[in-house]
Amino acid sequence: QEHYNMLNQKINYKWDFVIMQAKEQYKAGKERKKADRYALDCQERAYWLVNRTPPGMLDILEYGLDRVTDPNENKVNQVRQ
């Protein structure tokens, strides 16, 4: 119980910090001029174009219902045999 309470306090503190940061970023984004917002959007798009996953490699976003490969496939085959 003591460890749980300690962990809960740490997580709540960090979560509050994340919420506070998000609010500040949202407020700062609203105060920016339209041209600045457009420039930042273009910079972010350029970053993701340059840093995208190479073809043939799995991306974290590809995991889900329509995933390309099943990470549990080997375990299922071993259980069936």
Q: What's the pLDDT score for residue 64? A: 59
Indicate the length of the chain as a whole number.
81
Residue 54: what are its φ and ψ, rounded to 5°?
Answer: -60, 150
Say if domain 13-52 classifies as CATH 1.10.3080.10. no
CA-to-CA dists, residue 36 to 6, 39, 60, angstroms: 42, 5, 30
Residue-wise pLDDT for 14-43, tens only, equals: 889 999 999 999 998 888 888 998 998 999
Residue-wise pLDDT for 32-76, tens only, equals: 888 998 998 999 999 989 988 777 776 666 665 555 555 555 554
pLDDT at 2 over 60: yes
Between residues 57 and 3, which one has the greater pLDDT? 3
